[in-house]
Amino acid sequence: MCVSGMLVGGQGAGLWYDPASVRRFLIAIDFDGTITQHDTLHLIVDRFGDRSVWDRLTPDVIAGRVSVEEAMQAEFATVRATPDQVLNLVRARAGVRDGFVDFVAWARDVGHDVRVLSNGFRLVIADTLERLGVGDLPFDSHDAEFSVAGTRLIWTERGERCALCDRPCKRFDLAAARAGLAVAYLGDGVSDRCVCGAADVVFARAELADWLRAEHRDFVPFEEFGQVRAHLEQLAQGRHA
C-alpha cells in the first residue's frame, strides 16, 4: 500500500504520538450509503417520484444513447415534493452510519482534513451535517430544486469529462481539495469507482467493495467508522495492517 504525506514541521503540535511517523490524510467521504445508511436519492424517488423511469432508461444509458445525468434528470422530473417534504423524509428514514460524528471529531483532532464528496444534493447534505453537529464540514455535491411541479437538478461544474470514466467525476473535486495530502477515500457505490483510483487507501462497503474485489484491487472493508479510525491509527504508527 502506498502511503505518503508526512506531517511537516510544526503541524504536529499537540499530537499524542511522534509526528515524524504520522501520515496526514485528506479523508474524503461519500455521502449516500456511506455517511447515511440508506441512499437518499433512492428514498426520495421511491416516495415522491417514479422509479420506473430509471429502469426504462437503463438500456439507453448502457448503450450510450442517454447520459447518466440525462437519465437522472428524467427520473427526478417525476419527483413532486417541497424541500420540507424531502428533508422530513430524509430525517426520518436515511439513518447515519455508526461512529460518523465521533470519527470526524477524532480525525480533525489528530490533524487530518475531512471532506464529503457526493453525487447527491446540497440541500439534503447540508441539513444532515447540520443536524449531526458537523455543519462546518466542507462538501462538494450537486443540488436539486424540489417542487410539487417536478424537480430540476442543478449540476455542479466538474470541469472536463473525466478522461478515465468519461463522466463528470469526483476526481475533479478530489484534485481540487487534496493539496498534496495522501488521500483516504470512503465509499459504497458506482460513483466512487473512478475516484478510488486516485486514493492512497480505500475503505469500501456494499457494491463498491464487490467491484474492487472483482477487480483484484486493494481496499479495506468497513461497516462502521470505528473500523476506519482503527486502520488509520495503525497506518499512523507505521504498521501496515
Residue range at the interface with Mg ion (CB under 5 A); choices 123-131, 162-170, 188-196, 220-228: 188-196
How many angstroms separate the CA atoms of 2 and 24, rounded? 13
Please count the residues of this chain forming the interface with Mg ion, following the rule CB under 5 A: 5
Cβ nearer to Zn ion, comparing 31 with 106: 31
Quick one: which of 124, 144, 169, 235 contacts Zn ion (CB under 5 A)? Answer: 169
- Which residues is 144 bridged to in the sheet? 153
User: Residue 200, interface with Mg ion (CB under 5 A)?
Assistant: no
How many Cα atoms sit within 13 Å of 97 on the Cβ side? 25
How many angstroms separate the CA atoms of 172 and 31, rounded? 17
Q: Which does 12 bind (CB under 5 to 8 A by kind): Zn ion, Mg ion, none?
A: none
Grid cell at residue 82: 417541497
Q: Site map for Zn ion, 187-226, x if CB under 5 A?
A: -------x--------------------------------
Q: Does residue 174 contact residue 159 with C-beta atoms inside 8 Å?
A: no
User: Residue 140, interface with Mg ion (CB under 5 A)?
Assistant: no
Closest by Cα among 22, 21, 41, 44 to 31: 41
We find the least distance from the C-beta atom of residue 11 to Mg ion, in angstroms, to be 31
Q: Which does 165 bind (CB under 5 to 8 A by kind): Zn ion, Mg ion, none?
A: Zn ion
User: Residue 165, interface with Zn ion (CB under 5 A)?
Assistant: yes
How many angstroms separate the CA atoms of 123 and 152, rounded? 13
User: Residue 175, interface with Zn ion (CB under 5 A)?
Assistant: no
User: Residue 164, interface with Zn ion (CB under 5 A)?
Assistant: yes
User: Residue 12, interface with Mg ion (CB under 5 A)?
Assistant: no
User: Residue 176, interface with Zn ion (CB under 5 A)?
Assistant: no
Cβ nearer to Mg ion, comparing 173 with 188: 188
- Sign of the dihedral defined by the CA atoms of residues 92, 46, 119, 38, in that order: positive
Cβ nearer to Mg ion, comparing 19 with 33: 33
Which residues are near Mg ion by CB under 5 A? 30, 32-33, 188-189
Binding residues for Zn ion (CB under 5 A)? 162, 164-165, 169, 171, 194
